[in-house]
Structure 1
Amino acid sequence: MGKLNRAASIDDLRLQARRHLPRTIFEFIDGGAGGERTLRANRSDLERLTLKPRVAVNVAERRAVVELAGQAAALPLVLGPTGLAGVYWPQGEVAAARAAAAAGIPFCLSTNSVASMEEVAEGAPGGDLWFQLYFLKDEALMDALLERARNSGYRVLCLTLDLAVQGRRDRDIRNAFTIPFRPTLKTVFETAIRPAWFAGFLQSGGVRFGNFEGSLPKQGFMSIAAHIAALCDAGADWDTVARVAAKWDGPVVIKGILSPEDAERAVALGPEAIIVSNHGGRQLDHVPSAAAALPDIVAAVGGRTQVILDGGVYRGTDLIKARAMGAGACMVGRGFLWGLAAGGQAGVARAIDIYREELDIGMALLGQPDFDGIGRDALLTGPEGYPS
């Protein structure tokens, strides 16, 4: 815990994770699509927004509790769906779900998790669990996943729309990243100099896709792109989205929206929320950052459903900026994965604490005692204000 407590920021946890993980695996998390312009913009567009503080405001009591998909959350924060989290730390998905439950915030499990949805639900009782679903070619398999998620106590279904195919990720191509990991001189050397990670990896039994065990034929060494191509339905359209959403008898959120036109189509289906996201800059490069896309989407939605921002959120003040632009909360991926890779459940808890502390101090010094009450006037307008 001493190492984790010395982490003053999410970036510090990233450095700790880098020292723990083999380079190829670190770059799988860290990298984005193509030349990573969108990946960089996710962060830089949030960073260049300027907050406008007000003083002589009573901020003795601050409130950051929000409603997310119909249930109260202690922070405006969701731990987002990230594939293969169990590779970064043994039982990684369970560890993250436990940390989220202890913090009173939702955890969203990826379709491509290492631990199965049943293992996560059993390991994190009482948590607000969301299940993220990709559109699969095998409709019966997709229906079975929905039924299993429902029976395991997952409250919210998160439909991800931006994975018709996987984006072309240069770092993964250079590293020849495959599942299972292909033993080469490079990967053997990388694991040899990361003995703590390798011991945990062996203890956890290596790489698997827990939600698909017994459902997919055994494969040899396969890139993630090939795995997605074999599994996901590139022909899914809005009719598909509507049909799958109708099979779920609880709250639905729709993830992967970047245009006002798609926001309109999504809202027409009656979701509890839409998530403005470019998949962490990991799908199509040279698309808008999540922050740049957010204001127009908020305007198009017009308050008909909650909007959640996903992309580049590394600071508690980013939560404030997102709220000022109309988002009700933020979803984070790498932000908690660095904590997970640095220290398991305790590392995720440290990441959540960093967001919480930065948010609380930011609200106090801005003169904003209630997160839900933060509006556009918390940001400077003009060239230093909203992304163009």
Structure 2
Amino acid sequence: MSRSSRMNTLLKPPKMAWNATDRRLLRAAGIQDLRAIAKKQVPRMVFDYCDGAADGEISLNRARDTFAGLEFQPSVLRDVSVVDTGRTVLGQRQRLPFVLAPVGFNRVMHADGESAVASVAEQFGVPYSVSTLATTSLADVAAAAPGGRRWFQLYFAEDRGMVKELLACAEEAGFDTILLTLDTPASVPRRRDIRNGLTIPPSMSLGTFAEAWLHPGYWMRQIRAGSPKPQVLAATGGSAADMIKRVFNPRLCLDDVEWLRGVWYGRLVAKGVQSVADAGRVADLVDGVWLSSHGGRKLDRAPVPVELLPDVVDEVGDRVEVLVDTGITSGADIVAAIALGATAAAVGRSYQYGLMAGGRRGVVRALEILSREIEVTLKLLGVTAIDQLNRSHVRFR
């Protein structure tokens, strides 16, 4: 081969995209790259709402540091030419071992909103969890992803009549799983949101307004799509502020879980469990226990969910499936969570960064990144299937 031929082989032109959004997304090699793009594409108050966490953001940072500190134990001389990334989660086989966690107000992040996320989840064969605070109705989410698996995250209001209305909407729209959120007895204003004036009622400064209008593309999309409102809660009536206040229930207790088990036809998952003892208390009433610190957005200095994972699996893993979230920023983190005993991992900010960075196309890019990282991590571990992972493959340092 001549020298010029060798140079031509090495210097292949990069993938090209005429669209500016596509060009940005093609350059994103990891979720952190999508985060950096997102930060430039949306107003600071929008980015901070998604990116931020409670108080000093200690819970979130600890969770991320814990995942970063996990050490894999690879095995070589294995044929890993073909790997199976599929996983059975709550009775159904899916293509990848994670789910999209619920995040409210998706149409605030990007005008494409929940419908776009649902369609991408269907494309990649993973469940999409729709928040009670979604800005798209459950019926419209179902229409956007008729063949996808849809879960509904439920804030259990003090008014059981309101809860019944939400359950009826979920059932009518073909949602098969309820994620009962347990860790929100009170609303928690986050420091970034307070600084940006994202409070009820809003109290935004002139500086916040001025910075927001540095993103004309964002506002043009919002104007064309219409003002985002909590569409799921709209069925229960009242103003937006009133609806949001009603979903936080300081009286939620085990009796409510028992009642919900009796009235809901599908799968039920207890989301927001943060101790081995509480996992044991709910295990006989639900199909799944979701270890979560709400992405670090509620109690600061909360336990790190992935650190609880092995003990919770030992306690209840023969009775229920165990999911885990908070601090997951890569496909390698997802693989580590499965190895430690999780049925599936849940990602929230990862796909939201994609949504802010480029709407539906950004969510596709986020899931492409995670999928690639999962497959590569399995091969480097010497594992040919997700279901082969166990605690021998990873350890806490």
Using the size of structure 2 for normalisation, the TM-score is: 0.91
How many residue pairs get aligned? The number is 376
2:284–2:319 contact (8 Å) kept in structure 1: no
- 1:166, CA displacement in angstroms? 2.1
Match of 1:58 in 2: 79
Alignment counterpart, residue 284 of structure 2, candidates 268, 286, 291: 268
- 1:180, CA displacement in angstroms? 7.6
2:187–2:248 contact (8 Å) kept in structure 1: no
1:338 and 2:364 are equivalent in the alignment? no
State the Cα deviation string for residues 192-227 of structure 1 (Å, max 9, x = none): 1011111112222123110122533225xx5xxx86
Distance 1:217 1:70 in 2: 37
Alignment counterpart, residue 278 of structure 1, candidates 293, 303, 316: 293
| SS of the residue 1:285 aligns to | coil
Counterpart AA for 2:211: E
Counterpart AA for 1:305: V
1:59–1:369 contact (8 Å) kept in structure 2: yes
| SS of the residue 1:27 aligns to | helix
| SS of the residue 2:188 aligns to | coil
Distance 2:340 2:265 in 1: 31
Distance 1:75 1:110 in 2: 21
Distance 2:116 2:33 in 1: 20
Give structure 2 stretches of 5+ with no counterpart. Answer: 1-21
Counterpart AA for 2:376: I
2:45–2:212 contact (8 Å) kept in structure 1: no
Alignment counterpart, residue 289 of structure 1, candidates 304, 323, 328: 304
- 1:303, CA displacement in angstroms? 2.4
Distance 1:180 1:27 in 2: 18
Instruction: Say if 1:183 and 1:207 are closer, same or farther in 2 by CA, change over 3 A.
Output: farther
Instruction: Say if 1:256 and 1:133 are closer, same or farther in 2 by CA, change over 3 A.
Output: same
Instruction: Say if 1:303 and 1:103 are closer, same or farther in 2 by CA, change over 3 A.
Output: same
Counterpart AA for 1:351: A
Instruction: Say if 1:180 and 1:61 are closer, same or farther in 2 by CA, change over 3 A.
Output: farther
- 1:108, CA displacement in angstroms? 0.5
Larger radius of gyration: 2
Match of 1:378 in 2: 393
1:248 and 2:264 are equivalent in the alignment? yes
Alignment counterpart, residue 254 of structure 2, candidates 214, 238, 260: 238
1:108–1:130 contact (8 Å) kept in structure 2: yes
Structure 1 ranges of 4+ moved more than 6 A: none
Counterpart AA for 1:186: G
State the Cα deviation string for residues 119-158 of structure 1 (Å, max 9, x = none): 1111221110111101112211110110111011111111
1:166–1:228 contact (8 Å) kept in structure 2: no
2:378–2:384 contact (8 Å) kept in structure 1: yes
Distance 1:189 1:344 in 2: 23
State the Cα deviation string for residues 176-202 of structure 1 (Å, max 9, x = none): 203686564123212210111111122
Distance 1:246 1:101 in 2: 29
Counterpart AA for 1:111: T
**Superposed, which structure 2 residues align to 1:56-135 within 5 Å?**
56-135=77-156
Using the size of structure 1 for normalisation, the TM-score is: 0.93
Distance 1:180 1:15 in 2: 30
1:318 and 2:333 are equivalent in the alignment? yes
Distance 1:266 1:201 in 2: 41
Distance 1:176 1:188 in 2: 10
Give structure 1 stretches of 5+ with no counterpart. Answer: none
RMSD (Å), alpha carbons: 1.6
- 1:2, CA displacement in angstroms? 2.1
Match of 1:328 in 2: 343
Match of 2:273 in 1: 257
Match of 1:137 in 2: 158
| SS of the residue 1:202 aligns to | helix
2:233–2:243 contact (8 Å) kept in structure 1: no
Counterpart AA for 2:115: V
1:258–1:297 contact (8 Å) kept in structure 2: no
Distance 1:294 1:163 in 2: 21
1:258–1:276 contact (8 Å) kept in structure 2: yes
Match of 1:39 in 2: 60
State the Cα deviation string for residues 325-365 of structure 1 (Å, max 9, x = none): 11111011101000011111111111111111001001001
Counterpart AA for 2:209: V
Distance 2:129 2:186 in 1: 21
- 1:77, CA displacement in angstroms? 1.0
Match of 2:184 in 1: 163
Alignment counterpart, residue 171 of structure 2, candidates 150, 153, 158: 150
Counterpart AA for 1:120: V
| SS of the residue 2:153 aligns to | strand
Identity between Structure 1 and Structure 2 (%):
36
**Superposed, which structure 2 residues align to 1:166-205 within 5 Å?**
166-178=187-199, 184-205=205-226
Counterpart AA for 1:340: L
Instruction: Say if 1:238 and 1:337 are closer, same or farther in 2 by CA, change over 3 A.
Output: same
2:165–2:236 contact (8 Å) kept in structure 1: no
- 1:171, CA displacement in angstroms? 1.3
1:31–1:282 contact (8 Å) kept in structure 2: yes
User: Which stretch of structure 1 is more off in the superposition, 118-127 or 103-112?
Assistant: 118-127
